[in-house]
Amino acid sequence: MAKILFLTPYPTNSAPSQRFRFEQYFSFFKDENIDYDTLSFLDEATWKIFYQKGFLLKKTLGILKGLLNRHLLLLKIHQYDKIFIHREAAMVGPAYFEWIYSKLFKKEIIFDFDDAIWLKDVSNANQNLSWLKFPDKTKSIIAYSKTIIAGNTFLSNYAKQFNANVYVIPTTIDTNYHYPSKKTISDTIKIGWTGSSTTNKHLELISDVLEHITQTYSNVKIIMISNQPIISSKFKLKFVEWKQSSEIEDLSQIDIGIMPLPDNEWAKGKCGFKGLQYMALEIPTIMSPVGVNTEIIEDGKNGFLASNKNEWISKLSALIESKELREELGRNGRKTIEDNYSVNAHKDFLISLIKH
């Protein structure tokens, strides 16, 4: 039986990038003769405050604890056949641990990443710790690894500069968990967005659009699902605090899902996860035509792409005014997820990369 160690930034079952890239596959491992352990860099206490402003001492102690645990791992690393690293072994410093694992201990590394992490992107809450980030180490981690799993083609093309053994597996949806529910009949149309404090700024990109829509349609409400609200003077919104226990129920109240993005290099590395969630729940979706979004959405068939204010307004208006269009795009979106972005569609390939 193969034994794999998963090294992650965050505790198990806490961060979407981990949950939807590989943790949701753990339930299949026993039948595939794969034994595994997980070891996060941040512990639960540090994770809970890490993206909040302040708490500098607690964050520093949490980082030091993570570094200590990564060193202590060297005492038992011989137990594992392979090391699966999501994003980086340590959230600070150069590719020190990856070099030790691959060069000194001769361990085979599977490296998985789902963002353009070679670019510096530091949350507003942790600007004072930005000097500890070494985004340029990504190319070294890729070079040290045996197998690279990239979340989209843009990321894959970057990785292929440093390693030929690169495979694309998109962020996937468990279609049994993300299952559409029957909506309550209502005259109110809810336009919804989900994200976190690090991506709240993306919703603000279309604040003028949402102001226009809420002024034009009195029956439209804006729903924001996040761990932290934004304060908008241009439009009213209902803030729903994100909770894993109610995430599907909260998303299911949305009638139209939106995913605005800036057109920059960091955004091109995103894996379209918000849109995938909406589509899996048969929520008609509008996304910015940035990066992988143009591969996910066939404009007008399984969703809409909107690149400017006029397109956002016209496509939102079309969905607001037509229940039939919402239902049609919702059904087609769900079919896209089942065929191309579901756990079932990619399970066998991911397991084969881990085993072989």
* Domain CATH code at residue 128: 3.40.50.2000
Quote the strand ranges of the chain, DSSP E: 2-8, 34-40, 82-86, 108-113, 147-150, 166-168, 189-194, 220-226, 238-241, 256-259, 285-287, 304-305
Which pLDDT does position 158 carry in this prediction?
98
Q: What size, in residues, is the chain?
A: 356
In this structure, the answer to whether residues 109 and 211 fall within a common structural domain is no
Packing angle, helices 309-321 and 323-340, rounded to 10: 110
In this structure, the answer to whether residues 233 and 150 fall within a common structural domain is no
In this structure, the answer to whether residues 197 and 215 fall within a common structural domain is yes
Terminal-residue alpha carbon distance, the chain: 12
| Sequential pLDDT tens for the chain (356 residues) | 889 999 999 999 999 899 999 999 999 998 999 999 999 999 999 999 998 889 999 999 999 999 999 999 999 999 999 999 999 999 999 999 999 999 999 999 999 999 999 998 766 666 777 777 899 999 999 999 999 999 999 999 999 999 999 999 999 999 999 999 887 778 899 999 999 888 999 999 999 999 999 999 999 999 999 988 987 778 889 999 999 899 999 999 999 999 999 999 999 999 999 999 999 999 999 999 999 999 999 999 999 999 999 999 999 999 999 999 999 999 999 999 999 999 999 999 999 999 88
In this structure, the answer to whether residues 193 and 208 fall within a common structural domain is yes
Q: Is residue 178 part of a domain?
A: no
Task: Compute the C-alpha angle 310/312/315, nearest 5°.
Answer: 105
**Sign of the dihedral defined by the CA atoms of residues 155, 157, 158, 162, in that order:** positive
- Cα Rg of the chain, angstroms: 21
In this structure, the answer to whether residues 193 and 152 fall within a common structural domain is no
In this structure, the answer to whether residues 248 and 220 fall within a common structural domain is yes
Q: Is residue 184 part of a domain?
A: no
In this structure, the answer to whether residues 161 and 213 fall within a common structural domain is no
CA distances from 131 to 2, 121, 126, 141 (A): 38, 12, 10, 19
In this structure, the answer to whether residues 40 and 114 fall within a common structural domain is yes
In this structure, the answer to whether residues 260 and 233 fall within a common structural domain is yes
Q: Is residue 310 part of a domain?
A: yes
In this structure, the answer to whether residues 41 and 168 fall within a common structural domain is yes
Which pLDDT does position 323 carry in this prediction?
95
CA–CA separation, 95 and 88 (whole Å): 8
**Sign of the dihedral defined by the CA atoms of residues 33, 145, 342, 176, in that order:** positive
In this structure, the answer to whether residues 138 and 200 fall within a common structural domain is no
- Count how many domains the chain has: 2
Which pLDDT does position 125 carry in this prediction?
60
In this structure, the answer to whether residues 219 and 115 fall within a common structural domain is no
Q: Is residue 177 part of a domain?
A: no
Amino acid type, 282: E
Q: Can you give the residue range of the structural domain that contains 230?
A: 189-340
Which pLDDT does position 133 carry in this prediction?
84
Residue in this structure with the two tokens 């990369």, named with its chain if needed: 353
